[in-house]
Structure 1
């Protein structure tokens, strides 16, 4: 999920265009992009569209991940949102403004009820079909991020909301030191629970260099991808979060060398002048998995992995 494109739920004329885009995921928004007087209309529109989704989006490997950002749990819209949009084909509910584990528990309970009511079954019989992507966008949420990430098995990831986090505190949105600290804190919290970390939106659509720089920082911090508020940002995110050819080649060599090391009973070994042990091997495996999913391996690399 290198790129996640926001799609206002009140703009159904954009839905087909979003599906046809190069974004890895679509996040249909019932929160900030929808005015209070249009909440009910947007919710119904999105519900009807989700119910009519093509079968390919209800499979274990859909063409795109479908996400819905609902309204916060302390609004009068939350429970109606969940009841309407927890449908087959929706992978994640993006929950804004949770601050404590109890918030996550309540959201998970509501999702479970909606799954039963809407006949949403596990794709493979073991995994919960609809999981949670939690927005971390307040000082309290950032302080409690590890507890939020660990609060419930439905939590799949944490997403940084820098605008909401910084603006009330008077922190400049482009202050790199502040961004770095927030990213690092969120990534460590996600690591505690074994969930992914996802980057914030970047509001200046015209500033491609700024978007790319922030995305590169997020990737260096181990984030999975970046939110996009405009289709023009999709290609930038996909490029930054794509494993490079050099990274793929090195990872394949690490896996190839691990086969020999395992056979010889060697716990640490050198590849491309770098000492490799278990953490580096795990990273190489994860990178190769991503490259396979994106179709980036060449024939020789596939042969090496088949032999390994």
Structure 2
């Protein structure tokens, strides 16, 4: 099958599946993606109710500029099959798998997703976003990322990863280690990496600092647990005018230099070769998808 196209997800707003009164408000926000949660945010007694509410919303009129994501209950739970069967509808872009610990789990989920797509008349493939939130999952992150063509990204779950091990959620060394491990695992498979949530809503500067640290490591976006975090994520992960201008110079120079038989050359005093050209093209592609100025033509 063809690999699903990964949506732009600078900001991914968390929405509890058991709070349907919030769905329309979330859809009216500036979030690139909405992540409806059927797992931790929903009490056991309300799982079926939440599933029906999210499935009903996905079958309605959805914003054209937002990606729809659903975090289902874990593969090992009896709820997984019912979740996938209900939410794998044309309005869904990504199925978010929690607590992923191996490639076989991803392949099993992909098979269940394929069956649900066929039953629900889904024409385009729905992607899979895998949460890396256990020690084993982190160790096997590269295998998870490359397990199936449906996988479009890895997402860090800091609370589940750090809390049981007694690791300080704010420790810079721990954060940097996990981010680098996840980013390189995603890069090996050619998929995106997304930073996890920051729970202290009243600390926007800390959220921005985390987002900027993730961006410097090549992450594509960050989760938002409150609407006030959306603008921060969108700004941090938006290519700057200076970056767009430099990328345009690199791509333009590459076309001339490579045609003349030169593989490495200078742009504004910086040496440029294949990896830098590829990075510049990727940045311009993102800027075009966002409709940013300086990307015309």
Are residues 1:189 and 2:185 paired? yes
Q: Name 1:125's counterpart in structure 2.
A: none
Q: Name 2:5's counterpart in structure 1.
A: none
Q: Name 1:22's counterpart in structure 2.
A: 30
CA distance in 2, matches of 1:20, 1:161: 26
Shift of 1:49: 1.6
Q: Name 2:106's counterpart in structure 1.
A: 104
Shift of 1:52: 2.1
Shift of 1:192: 1.2
Helix, strand or coil at the partner of 2:131: strand
Shift of 1:105: 1.3
CA distance in 2, matches of 1:262, 1:141: 41
Scaled by the length of structure 1, the TM-score of the pair is: 0.92
Q: Name 1:44's counterpart in structure 2.
A: 52
The gaps in structure 1 that reach 5 residues or longer are 123-128
Shift of 1:251: 0.5
Instruction: Write out aligned runs for 1:1-308 (5 A).
Output: 1-54=9-62, 62-122=64-124, 129-298=125-294, 302=296, 306=297
Helix, strand or coil at the partner of 2:90: coil
Q: Name 1:126's counterpart in structure 2.
A: none
Helix, strand or coil at the partner of 1:157: strand
Helix, strand or coil at the partner of 1:206: coil
CA distance in 2, matches of 1:46, 1:197: 25
CA distance in 2, matches of 1:197, 1:13: 30
Shift of 1:259: 2.0
CA distance in 2, matches of 1:29, 1:264: 53
Provide, for residues 118-142 of structure 1, a one-character-per-residue CA deviation record: whole Å limited to 9, x for no partner: 11112xxxxxx21110000000000
Helix, strand or coil at the partner of 1:297: coil
Q: Name 2:6's counterpart in structure 1.
A: none
Aligned residues: 289
Provide, for residues 53-102 of structure 1, a one-character-per-residue CA deviation record: whole Å limited to 9, x for no partner: 34xx6xxxx31111000011111211100000000021100000110111
Helix, strand or coil at the partner of 2:94: strand
CA distance in 2, matches of 1:189, 1:256: 31
CA distance in 2, matches of 1:85, 1:53: 15
Scaled by the length of structure 2, the TM-score of the pair is: 0.95
